[in-house]
Structure 1
Amino acid sequence: MGNSVPAEKSGGGSNNRKTGLFRVSPYMVIPSRVGGFSLYLRQGESFVLYAEKGQLFTEEHKDRLAELDVDHLYVKSEDYPFYTEYLHENLLNILDDSSIPVRDRARAWNDATVSLAKAAYDRNLPQSLDKERFTRIRKLINNSLKFLARDDALKELSRFIAESNEQFEHGINVMVLTVSVLMTFIEDDSDLLVSVGIGAMLHDIGKLELPEELFWRREGTLSQTEIDLIRSHPALGVGVCSGMPLPQETLQCILFHHEQMDGTGYPGGMTESLLPAYARALILCNEYDNYIRGGPGRKKMTPFEALTRIKSRRSAHDQDMLKRLIAVLSKADLA
């Protein structure tokens, strides 16, 4: 070990911004060749190189970390994209490894998922959603199904999915909730779950086609033209994804996510008979997550307040799906 980096001004959280180091769990480094990132240990007031990029990481390395009672390793910020790439390549093995605490598996899942979702919603990228990124999102959701079926996984994931107004974080949470609700009655159709999961994660992708400030304005300050523009984002989302090999279920999730069972939603004013069960689950989970996140002129609600508001509009939502959402939240101690 060597090549120390001063830690005297490092901040808290998962990223020590002053030193440019991200905190990662030692459980995440499975025996393999460490890819394009080096690993650092914190020793007193310094970060010390533990494993250099390209080095073979063995069981002995893991055992030694356990003996030293190391809680965290660190990766330089410039190497973090290589670390998330490593997570994507090894995520299924990590999520299926019962020797890794559920909380650490949840953190790995969150890190891998955020890196993809954030890029998909990045207005600064010339093509935020391309075929390669879409393929990786599909693979990630497929590899996540078994883990998302665990009640304790949902509880741990809630610690990492921030209750903010970032579109990509909202997309992640709506995906987790929607897939969790669907898994209460769909057990042997992973293709459907993956298709709906993709649609849930990308349901707001059409907002990238509109001025960002529209979505930060209080509703009472918007003109009818601006309201109509906002209500066009589901259809615009389908257009954004037109070049992707998307199944019908994914496209319907993007298009229908603001519809309501009683026909009061948009963009089509569709009613119960025209909305598939998976779309009804997504519509409900989208509204619930919007309530607990708040927004311009809207305070964040507690889960109880959000569910109470939804219950007060019985005609707008599928009551069976609502019962299933409440059951999912209760099992994970989130309601």
Structure 2
Amino acid sequence: MGSTAPAGNGNNTKKQVTLFKVSPYMVIPSRVGGFSLYLKQDNRVVLYAERGELFTEEHKARLAMLDVDYLYIEGTDYSQYMSYLQENILELLNDESIPVKERARVWHDATVSLAKEAFDTSLPAPIDKRQFKRIQSLISNSLKFLAREDALKEMARFIKDGDELFKHGIAVMVLTITTLGTIVKDNSDLMVAVGLGAIFHDIGKLELPPELFRKRFDTLSRRDQDLIKSHPALGVGLCSSLPLPQETLQCILFHHEREDGLGYPSGSTGSMLPTYVKILSICNEYDNLTRGVDGRKKTPFEALTHIKSMRSSYDQEMLKRLIAILAKANLT
């Protein structure tokens, strides 16, 4: 959270600025920060590192010697800090010298930043921005499941080997949670579980050759089609050692099931699928179409028209809810 305080160099003070806490572990030697860093000492805020300054081992050693719990950045530098965090997230998540709690916070901050980008792109004004607070809270609450060494390693692999899958998952999460929020008002545990399932729904693709997903599905051999259809079960297998809620695993396993039973991997029909899975499957298809995953990138209107044409495949009531949200955002 941001706070307001005077920033100074120890002798002079500057005007009141909004400050955000950041972890001292975010200072990575041999990296240049596009933001200024401040310390709080004796109720004053003092400059620690100038914007554009190269971080060194000396910076890290000095922070350790001072036993600093937090550094601070100005609100005007927040976007530059988030870019720095996203660029270095793999190194931070894989650095076992950093406490698990701090590395989990790295994932949290980077995910919130990407979710904000997805929210502003997918659901621009006049969507009520308070809805993003719900998404931000959901990501924060998910840390109780992810602040573990094994979970952090899996997340690092997901980001490293499936960067676009990760961004796609976050975009699908934003759409899914916003749509589910028109039905569920106060069940935060369910929201967290479904949000995690949306983010990681395609994680099983990491177990398959990436070239499989660069071709149109209908041009593949039967064997390759069967391999692709295995990715939901592979995803559950990857996550089986993590203490994830049942709803999260259902999202991963069933996100390609269809109302008419022609989906995979189990061929379940709509009557067997939870509402949140039905919403996720629609939002997944919509984001894939607007990203152009299978060919030409479709406009929101074209994507929704395509989904509406597949009446037997998707829950029409859940589709209407997504359309209403996108119509409010002037995207239909």
TM-score normalized by structure 2?
Answer: 0.61
Distance 1:171 1:230, change over 3 A: same
Structure 1 residue corresponding to 2:299, chosen from 284, 297, 302:
302
Distance 1:293 1:35, change over 3 A: same
Structure 2 residue corresponding to 1:314, chosen from 311, 316, 319:
311
Shift of 1:216: 1.3
Q: Does structure 1 residue 35 correspond to structure 2 residue 33? A: no
Cα shift readout 1:249-270 (whole Å, capped 9, x = no counterpart): 0000000111111111111111
Query: Where do 5+ consecutive residues of structure 1 fail to align?
Result: 3-25, 39-46, 65-72, 83-88, 95-99, 126-130, 158-163
1:52-201 aligned within 5 A: 55-56=39-40, 151-153=127-129, 166-201=164-199
SS at match of 2:312: helix
Shift of 1:134: 11
Shift of 1:35: 2.5
Contact kept in structure 1, 2:254 and 2:277, CA below 8 Å? yes
Contact kept in structure 1, 2:169 and 2:200, CA below 8 Å? yes
Contact kept in structure 1, 2:173 and 2:199, CA below 8 Å? yes
Shift of 1:327: 1.6
Supply the distance in 2 between the matched residues of 1:156 and 1:317 (Cα, whole angstroms).
Answer: 26
Contact kept in structure 2, 1:138 and 1:198, CA below 8 Å? no
Supply the distance in 2 between the matched residues of 1:334 and 1:75 (Cα, whole angstroms).
Answer: 42
1:280 matched residue in structure 2: 278
Query: Where do 5+ consecutive residues of structure 2 fail to align?
Result: 1-7, 10-16, 28-32, 61-68, 95-99, 134-161
Supply the distance in 2 between the matched residues of 1:203 and 1:168 (Cα, whole angstroms).
Answer: 9
Q: Which amino acid aligns with 1:175?
A: M
Contact kept in structure 2, 1:214 and 1:230, CA below 8 Å? yes
SS at match of 2:182: coil
Structure 1 residue corresponding to 2:235, chosen from 228, 234, 237:
237
Supply the distance in 2 between the matched residues of 1:279 and 1:188 (Cα, whole angstroms).
Answer: 18
2:204 matched residue in structure 1: 206
1:332 matched residue in structure 2: 329
Cα shift readout 1:195-246 (whole Å, capped 9, x = no counterpart): 0000000000000111111111233442110110011000000000010001
CA RMSD of aligned residues (A): 5.0
Aligned pairs, number? 257
Supply the distance in 1 between the matched residues of 2:34 and 2:247 (Cα, whole angstroms).
Answer: 49
Distance 1:115 1:76, change over 3 A: same
Shift of 1:189: 0.1
Contact kept in structure 2, 1:165 and 1:293, CA below 8 Å? no
2:12 matched residue in structure 1: none
Distance 1:309 1:189, change over 3 A: same
Supply the distance in 2 between the matched residues of 1:174 and 1:267 (Cα, whole angstroms).
Answer: 20
Supply the distance in 2 between the matched residues of 1:108 and 1:154 (Cα, whole angstroms).
Answer: 24
Shift of 1:334: 3.1
Percentage identity across paired residues of the two chains: 46
Shift of 1:108: 9.2
Contact kept in structure 2, 1:234 and 1:256, CA below 8 Å? yes
Q: Which amino acid aligns with 1:278?
A: Y
TM-score normalized by structure 1?
Answer: 0.61
Supply the distance in 1 between the matched residues of 2:111 and 2:211 (Cα, whole angstroms).
Answer: 34
